[in-house]
Structure 1
Amino acid sequence: MARSAKVKPTRTGQQRPALGRSLAVHALAAALFLGMWAAGLWMLSRHVATRVAFPADPPRVVLKNRPAWMSDYLADGLCNLVRPRAAYSALDRRLLEDAVLQLSHNPWIRKVNRVSRRFGSAPGDTLEIDCEYRAPVALVASGGRYWLVDGEGVKLPESFRADEVERIQYGRNGKVNIRVIEGVRGLPPADGRHWAGEDLAAGLDMVKLLHGHEFTEEILAVDVSHFANRGSAEPAISLVTRYGSRLKWGEPPAAAFHAELPPAVKLSRIAAIKQQYGRVDAHRSWLDIRFERITYPIEESPVVQAGHRR
């Protein structure tokens, strides 16, 4: 008679409840840890947002790469334009977005490169503005006022009376900062808009050509009042000196020259006259430098008794 073998009970069945309890304990511990970590992170972020990143005062505004020609008055105006009245959190991007929007609609701004928060004495207490600006290159006379325009003919917000022009034209070193364009026919547009007209465009080209030369310091204005009558006896462009005399320049610098001398030759003539006579007008009420032979009124006295502009 065969003996049946006894099967010993395994411990697997006994271990399963213990393993389940162990996993549950570990899961509960992990959940408690994650909950405490999340709560701590929330409390930390709240502390940073309300205490550390939220300054007591509105941020100060600085202009990065402020150009040398920009006055304190204009710089302060641009800073005040974007400076908020109340404090903002350093984590709030709305301040940056609002500043970019306001700057992009300002006539003095050609392009907004970047607006960012910077650490001064506290996080986010400084707003840094990085822009490309429209530099004024001429004063355009129109309607009894003198309007600033940039090199592309965009009208800028500032205008001046006739008795204020001399103060604007000269810098602290006594050099000419900016020249007047007279005789423009088109009316001034709104601030930040392009001032249309071939006469103004020609005047701006002339102003740029005169800039940076020591011998042109006596030339204060460019007259384009006869630009529409090109081909007549009167020159399209005349240069007005500080003595009230005129240099008959002729065609605009960008024109194709046939009968007249090219711009470089005319400039060299002005330099030579200045060197020889001490004045760009050679002490005459006008000089015509358009052609091979320079002409002038021989009947007048050598020294012009015209009004001295300065």
Structure 2
Amino acid sequence: MARKTRNKSSSFADRFDSLRAAIRAGSTRLCALAAVTFLLVCVGLVWWGVPKLRTRLDQKLLDGGGLTTVSFVDAPAWFDGLRQSEVSQQVARAVGTGSTLDPHRLAKAQAALTSTGWFHTVEQVRLADNGGFIVDATFVKPFAVVRHEQYDYLVDTSGRLLPLQWPAGHRPASPHYIALVGAKEFPRGEFGTPWPGGDIAAGLELARALHQEPWIGQVAAINVSQFASSNALTLITANGGEVIWGRAPSERTAAEVPCDTKLRTLGYLYAQHGRIDNGGGRTLDLRGDLVTMQPAAVAPASTAMAQDEP
């Protein structure tokens, strides 16, 4: 009797083990089936979703008027709406009308921005929500104009040619850009090319030396035409006076008083008379120990500046 009981118990345990093994096997198959189903669902979502996302982004761009917008991080005040619009158009032409998810889109935009001449470097270009671009760049600094033939060409503090010009004498009154007149050469190259010639380099050095003076607005131009022959730079004032400055500020010689002395003389005239040319219509020579003054011999360059300066 005891043996029959043990056999029944053993048979019951075997059936239980078989059932448990079957359940485990079924669970394993269910897990595998669930994993495969999940993977297929993910693949389906990607296959269906990416084109939809691309379509939505493209549509968002079209809803914005089809324009490629370009916004700038910490843009300087002089980089106004007109400049930004011009740059945006250049970028739009470069990237074309392809998808906003084009992997080459950012690189094309960065290359187009670099070629404009308005930036020293373009550090980063990011895609904006509307399909346009957000740009982090280091801007150039417009500083002066160089008059050559019938145009005033904008340059930065180092004399690099910038992508903006005006008919001679018709540049805007603000900001105040000193004109360098009498240049002998013209840059041969793209925007960003330094203006050639020691005369322009000396004129820009003088403009930088005067830039922080309270009377800088009275200086309409610097005539560099006599620099190559006689080392003479001449300031042309807004009311037609001339101030013979002489050599470049960094060039020291016993034949001329130093730069600081010349600046003090002009500061004194400004404080006493309100004009650095002592009223205009005269030529002042700052080169010697004694400042000389005589009626201005009106040269073509100074006549043009007196008439054309806004």
Decide: shared fold, TM above 0.5. yes
2:235 aligned with 1:239: yes
Q: Is the 8 A contact 2:57 2:131 kept in 1?
A: no
Q: Is the 8 A contact 2:269 2:278 kept in 1?
A: yes
**RMSD of aligned C-alpha atoms?**
3.0
Shift of residue 204, structure 1, vs aligned partner = 0.7
Shift of residue 126, structure 1, vs aligned partner = 3.7
Q: Is the 8 A contact 1:113 1:132 kept in 2?
A: yes
Shift of residue 198, structure 1, vs aligned partner = 1.5
TM-score by length of 1: 0.78
1:210-256 CA distance string (max 9 Å, x none): 223222322111111122224xxxx5211111232211111101223
Q: Which residue of 23, 39, 42 maps to 1:37?
A: 42
> Secondary structure of 2:215's partner?
helix
Counterpart residue type for residue 261 of structure 1: V
Number of the residue aligned with 1:221: 221
Shift of residue 161, structure 1, vs aligned partner = 2.3
Shift of residue 71, structure 1, vs aligned partner = 4.1
Identity of aligned residues (%): 26
Q: Is the 8 A contact 1:141 1:184 kept in 2?
A: yes
In structure 2, do the counterparts of structure 1 residues 94 and 14 end up closer, same or farther at CA, with 3 Å as the change threshold? same
More displaced 10-residue stretch of structure 1: 108-117 or 47-56 = 47-56
In structure 2, do the counterparts of structure 1 residues 31 and 216 end up closer, same or farther at CA, with 3 Å as the change threshold? closer
1:160-203 CA distance string (max 9 Å, x none): 323xx2x41512xxxx6101112222223233112222211111
Number of the residue aligned with 2:173: 170
Q: Which residue of 112, 120, 136 maps to 1:102?
A: 112
Question: Any residues of structure 2 matched to 1:37-186 within 5 Å, and which?
Answer: 37-51=42-56, 55-57=60-62, 58=66, 59-83=68-92, 86=97, 88-89=99-100, 91-119=101-129, 124-162=130-168, 165=169, 167-171=170-174, 177-186=176-185
> Secondary structure of 1:160's partner?
strand
User: Which whole-Å CA distance do the structure 1 matches of 2:76 and 2:59 have between them?
Assistant: 32
Shift of residue 41, structure 1, vs aligned partner = 4.3
Shift of residue 282, structure 1, vs aligned partner = 1.8
User: Which whole-Å CA distance do the structure 1 matches of 2:74 and 2:45 have between them?
Assistant: 42
User: Which whole-Å CA distance do the structure 2 matches of 1:285 and 1:226 have between them?
Assistant: 18
User: Which whole-Å CA distance do the structure 1 matches of 2:115 and 2:277 have between them?
Assistant: 44
In structure 2, do the counterparts of structure 1 residues 157 and 45 end up closer, same or farther at CA, with 3 Å as the change threshold? closer
User: Which whole-Å CA distance do the structure 2 matches of 1:75 and 1:22 have between them?
Assistant: 64
Q: Which residue of 282, 285, 289 maps to 1:285?
A: 282
Number of the residue aligned with 2:3: none
Shift of residue 118, structure 1, vs aligned partner = 2.3
1:77-99 CA distance string (max 9 Å, x none): 1111113553633x433221110
User: Which whole-Å CA distance do the structure 2 matches of 1:221 and 1:33 have between them?
Assistant: 76
Shift of residue 258, structure 1, vs aligned partner = 3.3
> Secondary structure of 1:214's partner?
coil
User: Which whole-Å CA distance do the structure 2 matches of 1:196 and 1:135 have between them?
Assistant: 19
In structure 2, do the counterparts of structure 1 residues 199 and 23 end up closer, same or farther at CA, with 3 Å as the change threshold? same
> Secondary structure of 1:168's partner?
coil
Number of the residue aligned with 1:28: 33
In structure 2, do the counterparts of structure 1 residues 35 and 259 end up closer, same or farther at CA, with 3 Å as the change threshold? same
User: Which whole-Å CA distance do the structure 1 matches of 2:195 and 2:106 have between them?
Assistant: 31
TM-score by length of 2: 0.78
Counterpart residue type for residue 72 of structure 1: G
In structure 2, do the counterparts of structure 1 residues 41 and 74 end up closer, same or farther at CA, with 3 Å as the change threshold? closer
User: Which whole-Å CA distance do the structure 1 matches of 2:166 and 2:234 have between them?
Assistant: 23
Number of the residue aligned with 1:211: 211
User: Which whole-Å CA distance do the structure 1 matches of 2:154 and 2:61 have between them?
Assistant: 40
Task: Give the unaligned 5+ runs of structure 2.
Answer: 1-6, 297-301
User: Which whole-Å CA distance do the structure 2 matches of 1:73 and 1:29 have between them?
Assistant: 59
1:116-162 CA distance string (max 9 Å, x none): 1223xxxx444222322223212112233222211111112333323
Q: Is the 8 A contact 2:142 2:155 kept in 1?
A: yes
2:246 aligned with 1:250: yes
Q: Is the 8 A contact 1:55 1:88 kept in 2?
A: no
Counterpart residue type for residue 260 of structure 2: A
Aligned residues: 283
